[in-house]
Amino acid sequence: MAAVASFPQINDIDSMSFNNVDKLTYEIFSILENNFLFGCDDSNQKLHVVAQPSLAANAFKSGKHNSGKVRILSIDGGGSTDGILAAKSLTYLEDFLRRKSGKPDARIADYFDVVAGSGAGGILAALLFTKGKDGYPLFTADGALNFLIKNRREIFRSSDGGIFRRVFRPAKVEKLFRKTFGECTLKDTLKSVLIPCYDLSTRAPFLFSRADAHEMDGYDFKIRDICIATSAEPTVSGAVQMSSVDKRTKIAAVDGGIAMNNPTAAAITHVLNNKQEFPFCNSVEDLLVVSLGNGESDFSAVNLTSSPASFTRIAGEGASDVVDQAVSMAFGPHRTTNYIRIQGNGIVGGLEKGKRGQKMKRINILEKADEMLTQKNIEAVLFKGKKMIENTNLEKLEVFAGEVIKEEERRKSSILPTVLLKQTAFPSPRTSSASATTLSTISSC
C-alpha cells in the first residue's frame, strides 16, 4: 500500500517538472517560429527566460538616455556584376548621405558602425573602411567603384586566358593589393569590419574580424591578404596560404562566397553578441541594416557540366536569398524601416561574346547597374519566394539614408554611447566576435 500511495506523489512531481520544461520549450520555439518563419507582428511578445545584464539599462533608453541603433552595412559576393552593382549602390548612398547631411565630403564610413563584405563585397569593405595616413578612409564610394571597374578582370577572371594567366594572376593581384593597402592591418580599420573566407585546412568558414584583431594579436591580418583570401578562386590549387601578422594563425583560404555569400546574418549575430562594443543592442529593434546584392546570374546560358565554378555561384546566390528571407522575417514589423535589401530583380549578364564567339568583351556594366537600381525593389518571403513592391531600389536607398542621418543627429544629444569600439588588445579570451564558433581553439563567453 505504501508503494502504491507514494507513486502518485512522484508522478505529480514529474508532471510538474515536465509541464514547466514543456512550457518553456513551447515558448522558445513559438518565439523562434514567429520571428524567423512568419515575422513577429506582436511588439509585446518577449521571451522572459534569462535576464541579460545589459537589459537593466533599458530603463534609461528614452530621450537623452536613448542608446539608439547600430548601423550595419552588408555587401554580397560577386554575383553577375563582380561587385559593380553593390559599388554603384554605394555611390548613390554616399551621395544621399552628403546631400541630407549637408556635408559634401562625407564618407560611407562616417555613417556606419559595422561593415561586412564577402568576395567583391569584402574588397569594397576594405576600400571604404581602411584608414589612410590622413585618418580618413582610403577611398570614397566613387573611388571604390572605379577601382573595381579598372581591376575586376585581374581580380575575378582567374579562369580566363588559359594556364599562362592563371599562373601569373596571383602575383599581379598581390602586387595590386599591396600597392593599395600597403602594410595596413585589421587594426587600421575605422569601424567594426567582418570579412569571411573558407579555410580548406579546417574545412570551416573563417571570419576576419576587427574585434578579434584588437583582442588577440594572433587574429590580426594584413588587409591586402584578406582581400586576396576572400576573392581567391574556389579550387584547391587556388587556395591562398596566409598567416596573421605575428604568424601564429595560419589558414588556406578560398572565396568568401563559399563561406557566406551574404554576410548579413553574421554581422547581426556579431553585434547582438558583442556587448563590449555594442552594450545596449539587444534585438533587431536596435539595428539599422542595409544589405547590398550583386545581381542574379543567367544560369540557363551556362554549361553547368563543364563549369564547376557555376555550381559555386548557384550555391552562393541561393544561400544569399535564404539569408535575406530569414533576416527579413526576423525583423518582423520592423523590416520595412530597420532592414532593406538592394538586389536586381532580373537577370543581367556582365559579358557578351564578340563577333567570332570566343573572345569576350565587356559591355557597359555601369548602365546595367543603373538599370537594376531603377527597378522596383523585391521583398523576400521565407518559403514563399519573392514579391515585388512599388518602391525602386534607389528610392529605398534614399529613405534609408534619411534614417541613418536621423540616427547620427540623435547621437549628438544622447549621453549613452551606441558603440564602444576597441582600440587596444586585451589579454583575456575573446568574448565579442561572431567568428567564435569558427575556431574551436578559442573560447567565448
> Distance between CA atoms of 65 and 212, rounded to whole angstroms?
29
- Establish whether 440 is a catalytic residue: no
Beta bridge partners of 209: 194
| Helix/strand/coil percentages in the chain, nearest 5 | 50, 15, 35
| Residue 326 near residue 36 (C-beta atoms within 8 A) | yes
3-state SS class at 70: strand
Residue type at 20 in one-letter notation: N
Residue 152, CB-side half-sphere exposure with 13 Å CA sphere: 24
Closest by CA to 128, choosing from 149, 113, 107, 147, is 107
CA angle 438, 442, 445 (to 5 degrees): 95
Give the whole-angstrom CA distance, residue 360 versus residue 347: 18
Task: Tell me how far apart the alpha carbons of residues 343 and 309 are, in angstroms, rounded to a whole number.
Answer: 22
List the catalytic residue out of 67, 74, 118, 297: 118
Torsions phi, psi for 116 (to 5 deg): -125, 130
User: Which position has the grid cell 575575378?
Assistant: 156
Bin 220: left if φ > 0, else alpha if -120 < ψ < 50, else beta. Answer: beta
CA atoms within 13 A on the CB side of 215: 21
The set of cell numbers assigned to 312 is 559555386
Q: What CA–CA distance (Å, rounded) separates 380 from 340?
A: 10
- Non-local (6+) Cβ contacts of 36 within 8 A are 326, 329, 330, 382
Taking the C-alpha atoms of residue 49 and residue 74, their distance in angstroms, rounded to an integer, is 31
φ, ψ dihedrals at 7, nearest 5°:
-60, -45
Grid cell, residue 291, equals 544589405
Q: Facing residues of 241 across strands?
A: 252
Just list the catalytic residues.
118
